[in-house]
């Protein structure tokens, strides 16, 4: 028997036509990419969104694709794909339905710590179905290989459509699904579609009885997903968000984004500032403009809109413009935190970097940077290039203030101070003395301007000389050999030391 006859014997009758083969390669690859992107959102409430988290999830997905491709090829040679293809897709769908309850129950069990356990649970839950889905294309390819004369054509064609499917899954998830559909719904729908497709294939090739066990597992996964704990009140395009009441203050509300307390808003008294970083914002502003004059203010990052509300209440006539990338957060602000757009509050759904670039020169008295992805400021909002743009937009007597969170050796904080100081001649830092001394970490407020800062007034208001740093020599000593952050080099997530309880 020659090689051509051997291939024909192993794939009799070409039982999968070209269109079905393309659909399977396309759909399975698309499903893997949907899983990868959704997985990032599933772990965000417990691990945050950092470069390391993204890299680790992508690494797991790529390892699953490689394993599945190898496994699918070996399995196709070991037994007829017509026996294994359908049950394998059903099983992949059933395992997809188990991802959400596995991650959420693990996350709830180790809430407040145990990040490694959460990621391990996700890695296992993602790896298994992604591997099975990646095995589909080599198995379908085997079914289409009825002659060696067209091996290159078949392999290349199906590989191309698998790649197109991966692109489609990535684009649809990033631009459509996540923006319009809750994560749990995406997982349920994807798992359900895979189960249905696998059941059809199994019944067609082997009969209804062969599909019974995988379908039972799918039903179990669906039930567990429905009853799994939900860490979100609202799933936005970027965050898992919720509002909690302050048990000690009837009108107090706390906005949580993912695992972090982000903002505190008093619905009855917008001048009430609960968190120290917000009080330090106010200190910098009030000492710069003690006459309570109205200001033209630009806010990068909206959150609960604490500072826009405060400035409107304390300085009537102030114009606040807010760039917030997450429309879901803004809708939550409107629904539960008293946000009312108008002449004093212009809410823009836009990336802050692009927003700054569009602003006119010398147009703002104050620019407030309070944008976070997890505990880190997004890297493109930290570089010298955006600081230069901020300086361009500020009036000559303007003030730039930024909220930075760091712990441990404070490497990111020091790098950001150096970066801001590379553009502004006057830079200061407000924080607790223990934080500036490096004994603890937390929120640091950077202040920068083209004209001298009101250091004496800040120290008097703060009540402690050790809580404010603005002497150029002391600043240089504090930052040491910290790197300058640029668009070409800004390893924010690597520099940042997160809080570890």
Same domain for 279 and 168: no
Q: Which residues pair with 324 in a beta bridge?
A: 349
| Residue that finishes a domain, picked among 178, 205, 231 | 231
* Residues ≥6 apart with Cβ < 8 Å to 95: 125, 128, 129, 132, 221
Q: 235-259: per-residue pLDDT in tens?
A: 777 777 889 999 999 999 999 887 6
The mean-pLDDT minimum among 11-15, 119-123, 160-164, 223-227 falls in 11-15
| Residue that finishes a domain, picked among 206, 231, 256 | 231
Q: What number of other Cβ atoms are within 10 A of residue 440's Cβ?
A: 14
In a domain, 253, yes or no: no
Same domain for 459 and 345: yes
Same domain for 382 and 280: yes
Secondary structure of 355-366 in HEC code, one letter for each residue: HHHHCCCCCEEE
Q: Burial code of 365-403, b = ≥16 C-beta within 10 A, e = fewer?
A: bbbbbbbbbbbbbbbebbbbbbbebbbebbeeebbbbbb
Same domain for 319 and 222: no
Same domain for 181 and 289: no
Same domain for 214 and 282: no
| Residue that finishes a domain, picked among 202, 231, 260 | 231
* The total number of residues written for the chain in this structure: 501
Q: Burial code of 174-198, b = ≥16 C-beta within 10 A, e = fewer?
A: eeebbeeebbbebbbebbbebbebb
Question: Residue 83 — φ and ψ, nearest 5°?
Answer: -85, -30
Cβ burial of 477 (10 Å; 0-12, 13-18, 19+) is: exposed
235 half-sphere exposure, CB direction, 13 A CA radius: 18
Same domain for 344 and 220: no
In a domain, 238, yes or no: no
pLDDT band with cut points at 50, 70 and 90 for residue 115: low
Same domain for 477 and 328: yes
> How many domains does the chain contain in total?
2
In a domain, 255, yes or no: no
Structural domain range at position 66? 3-231
Residue bearing the bigger pLDDT, 493 or 293: 293
In a domain, 424, yes or no: yes
Question: Residue 147 — φ and ψ, nearest 5°?
Answer: -155, 145
Q: 50-90: per-residue pLDDT in tens?
A: 677 788 889 999 999 999 999 999 998 888 888 889 889 98
Q: 92-112: per-residue pLDDT in tens?
A: 998 898 888 888 777 767 655
Same domain for 196 and 288: no
Same domain for 457 and 358: yes
Q: 184-204: per-residue pLDDT in tens?
A: 888 889 988 998 898 888 887
Same domain for 477 and 392: yes
pLDDT number for residue 120: 83
Same domain for 276 and 209: no
In a domain, 237, yes or no: no
Q: Which residues pair with 364 in a beta bridge?
A: 394
- Residue 28's CATH number: 1.20.1250
* Residues ≥6 apart with Cβ < 8 Å to 265: 252, 253, 255, 304, 305, 306, 309, 337, 338
- Residue 428's CATH number: 3.40.50.150
In a domain, 244, yes or no: no
In a domain, 236, yes or no: no
In a domain, 380, yes or no: yes
């Amino acid at each position: 028997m020659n090689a051509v006859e051997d291939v024909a014997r192993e794939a009799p009758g070409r039982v999968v036509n070209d269109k079905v083969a393309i659909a399977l390669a396309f759909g399975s690859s698309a499903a893997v990419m949907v899983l990868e992107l959704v997985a990032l959102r599933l772990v965000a409430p417990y691990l945050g969104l950092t470069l390391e988290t993204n890299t680790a999830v992508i690494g797991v997905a790529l390892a699953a694709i490689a394993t599945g491709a190898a496994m699918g090829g070996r399995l196709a040679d070991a037994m007829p794909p017509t026996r294994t293809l359908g049950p394998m897709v059903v099983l992949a769908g059933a395992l997809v339905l188990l991802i959400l309850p596995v991650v959420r129950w693990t996350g709830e069990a180790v809430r407040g710590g145990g990040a490694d356990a959460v990621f391990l649970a996700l890695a296992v839950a993602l790896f298994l179905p992604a591997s099975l889905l990646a095995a589909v294309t080599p198995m379908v390819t085997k079914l289409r290989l009825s002659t060696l004369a067209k091996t290159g054509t078949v392999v290349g064609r199906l590989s191309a459509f698998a790649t197109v499917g991966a692109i489609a899954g990535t684009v649809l998830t990033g631009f459509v699904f996540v923006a319009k559909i809750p994560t749990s719904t995406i997982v349920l729908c994807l798992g359900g579609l895979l189960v249905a497709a696998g059941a059809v294939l199994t019944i067609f090739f082997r009969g209804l009885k062969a599909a019974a066990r995988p379908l039972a597992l799918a039903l179990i996964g669906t039930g567990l997903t429905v009853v799994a704990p939900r860490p979100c009140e609202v799933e936005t395009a970027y965050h898992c968000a919720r509002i909690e009441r302050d048990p000690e203050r009837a009108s107090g509300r706390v906005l949580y984004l993912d695992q972090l307390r982000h903002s505190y808003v008093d619905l009855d008294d917008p001048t009430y500032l609960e968190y120290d970083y917000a009080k330090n914002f106010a200190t910098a502003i009030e000492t710069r403009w003690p006459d309570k004059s109205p200001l033209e203010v630009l806010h990068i990052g909206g959150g609960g809109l604490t500072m826009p509300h405060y400035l409107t209440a304390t300085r009537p006539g102030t114009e606040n413009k807010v760039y917030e990338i997450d429309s879901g957060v803004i809708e939550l602000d409107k629904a539960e935190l008293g946000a009312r757009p108008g002449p004093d509050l212009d809410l823009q759904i836009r990336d802050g970097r692009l927003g700054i670039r569009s602003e006119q020169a010398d147009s703002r008295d104050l620019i407030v940077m309070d944008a976070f992805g997890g505990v880190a400021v997004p890297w493109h909002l930290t570089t010298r290039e955006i600081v230069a743009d901020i300086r361009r937009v500020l009036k000559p007597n303007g003030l730039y203030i930024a909220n930075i969170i760091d712990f441990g050796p404070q490497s990111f904080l020091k790098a950001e101070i150096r970066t801001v100081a590379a553009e502004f001649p006057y830079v200061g830092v407000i924080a607790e003395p223990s934080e500036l001394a490096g004994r603890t970490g937390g929120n640091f407020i950077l202040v920068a301007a083209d004209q001298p800062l009101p250091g004496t007034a800040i120290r008097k208001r703060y009540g402690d000389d050790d809580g404010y740093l603005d002497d150029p020599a002391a600043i240089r000593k504090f930052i040491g050999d910290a790197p300058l952050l640029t668009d070409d080099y800004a390893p924010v997530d690597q520099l940042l030391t997160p809080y570890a309880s």
